[in-house]
Chain A
Amino acid sequence: MTTLLQLFSVAAISAGAFFFFAGTVGLLRFPDSLTRLHALTKADNLGLGLVVLGLLPRAENTLSALKLLVIWALVLLSGASTAQLIGRALRRGRK
């Protein structure tokens, strides 16, 4: 693995970890349920996405790389749908 790819990998994974940190800070410090939901979904999409992007150069074969992408796609799908579900619950005043 070339140095450039290694550097890219480290950068992407660090950025992913930062987004998880940002998501947690948002979840703990934002004033309102809907804003906290916003922070949560950023951790889902960007946090995991950047981590997967950083791990892609390290995949041994196409199948492993595809598996990483499938995991990210699943989390994107379920994250988006559950954000809708939670948002609707909040809008209707469910506690």
Chain B
Amino acid sequence: MNELLLAAAGLIVLTVAIGLARILRGPTDVERLMAVQLLGTGGIAALLLIAYATNVPGVEDVALGLALLAPFATIAFINLLDADQGDAEV
């Protein structure tokens, strides 16, 4: 059972890592942002699987932290887009 979980974790990491190709190709910057989002969510899933497969303490908390940090970084990037190309200032 544990090997299955680890295999699933590895599979998810590989899959979202392939999605990182969008960082290279993405014609616009927003696509690059989406690829990193996918990496973050896939990372959370893989970390949870690893936490339940190997019983290393604390890996769940890393997933919890990642779940908070992903929107944090995304908001900053959106603010940059809004500032560079966006609404008039208020």
Chain A interface helix/strand/loop/mixed: helix
Assess whether A95 is in contact with B42, with CB atoms less than 8 Å apart.
no
Q: What is the number of contacts between chain A and chain B, taking CB atoms within 8 Å? A: 131
Interface size in chain A (residues, C-beta < 8 A): 44
Instruction: Give the chain B neighbours of A21 by CB distance below 8 A.
Output: 11, 15
Residues of B within 8 A of A (CB): 1, 4-5, 8, 11-12, 15-16, 18-19, 21-22, 28-31, 33-35, 37-38, 41-42, 44-45, 48-49, 52, 60, 63-64, 67-68, 70-71, 74-75, 78, 81-82, 84-86
- Some 13 contacts from A to B, beta carbons below 8 A apart, are A13-B5, A17-B12, A24-B19, A37-B34, A40-B37, A67-B60, A71-B67, A75-B67, A78-B70, A82-B75, A86-B30, A86-B33, A92-B86
Residues of A within 8 A of B (CB): 6, 9-10, 13-14, 16-17, 20-21, 23-24, 27-28, 33, 36-37, 40, 43-44, 47-48, 51-52, 55, 58, 64, 67-68, 70-71, 74-75, 78-79, 81-82, 85-86, 89-90, 92-95
